[in-house]
Amino acid sequence: MRTISPLTFFWGVLTVSAPIVWIFAWSKGVPDFSKLFFVGVIGSVVFYSISKILFYRTIRDAELSHVHPLVALGPVFTLGSSFLILSEVPSLIGFIGIGITLVGTYVLNISSIREGLWEPFKILFRNNLSLLMLYSVLIGSISPVFDKLAIIHTSPQNEIFALLMEDLVIVFGLLPWMLLKNKTVAIEIKFNWKWILTFGLLQAVSNTLAFISLAGANPGLVTSVFRTQIFFVLLFSYLFFGDRPKTETIVGSIIMIGGLVVLKLAT
């Protein structure tokens, strides 16, 4: 992935994913929708696009074990934004889950505690790639709220149609830029088509499942379930790239996943 720009990779992945999502959406037909459906779609497109491009930029240049556990903070941010936009209030158990997740974040860099009590948190803001990942997680945490806004304003409710519309807006919205840079884009895709195809297929399935789950639950709680992928990412990063995580990274990730499990219990 070091030979492709994050923007080209993002567009390529969605270009592969969209036709598959279209097949899923077609089986449910085209629903009626209100003006707020478009608000949800456009809002999600903006936040999701920025978040994903930052995410791909980060994982391209950083070791996954150093930055990927931070995605566990996503549900914490999503719970806050879903409260502000959808008035969905997390329960006491939900707040406990948030607290546990933050403790796990602290443990990720606990070896720096000798430099100060708050140093494990501060170090995140001094490392450019960690900070970039935090920006990605924060911005991306707002996207599921707009996703749900789009979903609940379809009748009969059709969550896959909402996903398809978002994918198409991004693919065709970025198409003029891709055509403008066609020579560079063509070369990048030529040398990275296997990654693009793999990520596109996986994203089509994972996003479809995520939207189905999102249709019937709090956005923050749904994203908390999907963030338990951290362990698999760390494992595959070690197996395929030799990226061996530090002990504190493993312990911190376990605690953060524990927090996500508690968040799930809040449903």
Residue 1 three-state SS: coil
Span 180-214, pLDDT tens digits:
988 899 999 999 999 899 989 988 988 888 888 77
Return the pLDDT at 10.
94
Residues forming a β-bridge with 32: 155
Integer Cα distance of 185 and 188 in angstroms: 5
- Assigned domain for 1 exists: no
Q: How many CA atoms lie within 13 A of 134 on its CB side?
A: 12
- Assigned domain for 204 exists: yes
- Assigned domain for 13 exists: yes
Contacts of 243 (CB under 8 A, 6+ apart): 63, 64, 65, 237
For the chain, the first-to-last Cα distance in angstroms comes to 37
Residue in 129, 7, 6 with CA at minimum distance from that of residue 57: 6
- Assigned domain for 155 exists: yes
Question: Residue 157 burial (CB < 10 Å; 0-12/13-18/19+)?
Answer: middle
Determine the longest span between alpha carbons in the chain, in angstroms: 59
Return the pLDDT at 63.
74
Q: Could you tell me the pTM of the whole model?
A: 0.77
Domain count, the chain: 1
CB 252 within 8 A of CB 108: yes
Angle 63-233-246 (CA atoms, 0-180°, nearest 5)?
Answer: 50
Is the pLDDT at 218 greater than 70, yes or no? no
CA distance readout (Å), 253 to 61, 66, 72, 77, 114:
21, 11, 8, 17, 21
Contacts of 2 (CB under 8 A, 6+ apart): 60, 61
Tokens, residue 199: 């990520």
H-type alpha helices, the chain: 6-26, 35-61, 64-67, 74-86, 92-107, 119-126, 128-140, 143-152, 159-180, 182-214, 219-226, 230-241, 247-265
Residue ranges making up the domain that contains 56: 6-265
Return the pLDDT at 228.
54
- Assigned domain for 26 exists: yes
Return the pLDDT at 134.
87
Integer Cα distance of 71 and 28 in angstroms: 32
Return the pLDDT at 241.
60
- Assigned domain for 52 exists: yes
Span 56-86, pLDDT tens digits:
888 888 776 677 677 777 777 777 777 777 6
Return the pLDDT at 189.
92
- Assigned domain for 225 exists: yes
Residue 155 three-state SS: strand
- Assigned domain for 242 exists: yes
Contacts of 129 (CB under 8 A, 6+ apart): 58, 61, 62, 66, 67
CB 110 within 8 A of CB 96: no
